[in-house]
Amino acid sequence: MSLPLEGIKIIDFTGVQAGPSCTQLLAWFGADVLKVERPGVGDVTRNQLRDIPDADALYFTMLNSNKKSLELNTKTPEGKEIMEKLIRDADVLVENFAPGAMDRMGFGWERLQELNPRLIFGSVKGFGENSRYSDLKVYENVAQCAGGGASTTGFWDGPPLVSGAALGDSNSGMHLAIGILTAIIDREKTGRGQKVTVSMQDCVLNLTRVKLRDQQRLERVGYLEEYPQYPHGTFTDVVPRGGNAGGGGQPGWVLKCKGWESDPNAYIYFTLQEQNWARTCEAIGKPQWADDPEYATTKARQSHIFEIFGYIEEWLSDKTKYEAVDILRKYDIPCAPVMNMKEIANDPDLRESGTIVEVPHKKRGSYLTVGSPIKFSGFKPEIVGSPLLGEHTDGVLRSLGYTEEQIAQLHEHKVV
Ligand code: COA
């Protein structure tokens, strides 16, 4: 089956998660992605958090499927020469090294343009180029803190909290992928490549925009009516942490179900949808609340929101999270079980849709990974295992015209 990005050549000069998640997505959609890695070392995640000695860690395998691997020391003259050949022939180069590393290596944006004016150069950094923090090295949680995610997550009486979702890393990778695809379309019109940059701080903020909405509302009216602090608590001039509050116009909360005392995930998320209030009352056995002025509007309910949620928890006490959702779905209540990772790993629907896939690996045997969360009517991305370090080195060198003797020498000198 022909894939949409077939023929697009990408040099994947990335590591850890932010860059690899971007190039992996493009590889799923058919791009020819070549990961360039330090000889003998490779992407640091190959070694991090290993569960099988001597086999690439899941951290690596789950972010580098569908790619090829070339070992290459790009700081040696021979290595630079090989890299230049690759760049001349590539459509895209993606990197997420520490600030300044590409310039130090001699592959800054100006040099890349000289080598190949059609090249699209994708780059992830922790902060924007103009930022006072632009020189900082950044990992996931640093970005979540800098982008507004942490100050707005958690409970009001606890510290800022980071999310388990990779809002800094994979989210930045997805933003960069959108930017690269946009630049590819633009190049069809202009014939020229361009530099596409994303900062992890910006990408976290893009997903935290409702809190920027709330900051402005707070400054105008002094309170936020959908937060648990309203109407009985107090507000400062900064958006507070709202626990599990809905975040939009529909109040909600995480509620205990049967078994919560021993199962930390025996909960559901329950939403009090304004337009569905009468049916919600019917579902939970409180039909009298439907027209009671104390409960009939979102505004009125906010005064006793925790009394309402407390009552619903009583109603839930003899129902598992799955039983509860099966009842509530009949009443159109927006809700879902809190799914733990074991349940997600074994979920038949996620397996069937290809969102979770099991793929073979030469050293590990098979492993579970995420497949494309984006579904197409015209094709289905096929996820294959990640490459071993340097698995494609010799093949790539041959395709660049190197003889067997030259290849042997490059190995001997540890250039590859
Ligand atoms: N051949 C030779 N040298 C190579 C190489 C290769 N194939 N690949 C990398 N290197 C070199 C780099 O040029 C750099 O050298 P320099 O420090 O002399 O300039 C060195 O290896 C290390 O680079 P890097 O991996 O960036 O540094 P680090 O491990 O100390 O930092 C990060 C890791 C993630 C903190 C840093 O890369 C960073 O802040 N990146 C931008 C933000 C980002 O993407 N963070 C999220 C990661 S999920």
- CA-CA distance, 66 to 45, in Å (whole number)? 17
Whether residue 249 has pLDDT greater than 90: no
Atom 18 of ligand 1: nearest residue by CA position: 101
Per-residue pLDDT, 28 = 98
Q: For residues 220 and 38, give the distance between their C-alpha atoms in angstroms, rounded to a whole number.
A: 53
> In whole angstroms, what is the distance from residue 196 CA to residue 178 CA?
10
- Mean pLDDT, residues 61-67 taken together: 98
pLDDT recorded at residue 47 = 97
Q: What does the pLDDT average to over 134-163?
A: 98
Q: Is the pLDDT of residue 395 over 90?
A: yes
pLDDT at residue 305 tops 80 = yes
Measured from CB, residues less than 6 Å from any atom of ligand 1 are 15-19, 36-38, 72-75, 96-98, 101, 104-105, 124-126, 137-139, 169
pLDDT for position 1: 76
- Is residue 405's pLDDT more than 80? yes
Residue pLDDT, tens place only, 308-356 = 999 999 999 999 999 999 999 999 999 999 999 999 999 999 999 999 9
Q: How far is the CA of 227 from the centre of ligand 1 (A)?
A: 41
Residue 244's nearest CA partner among 158, 333, 143, 148 is 158
Bridge partners for 372 per DSSP: none
For ligand 1, what atom is nearest to the CA of residue 39?
7
**Per-residue pLDDT band at 248 (split at 50, 70, 90):** confident
How do 120-125 and 195-199 pair as beta strands?
parallel
Q: Is the model more confident about 407 or about 248?
A: 407
In this structure, are residues 306 and 228 in contact, taking their beta carbons and an 8 Å threshold? Answer: yes
Percent of the chain exceeding pLDDT 70 equals 100
Q: What is the pLDDT of residues 36-47, one digit of tens each?
A: 999 999 999 999
Annotated catalytic sites, by residue? 169
Ligand 1 centroid to residue 137 C-alpha, Å: 9
The DSSP secondary structure of 3-35, one letter per residue, reads: -TTTT-EEEEE--TTHHHHHHHHHHHTT-EEEE
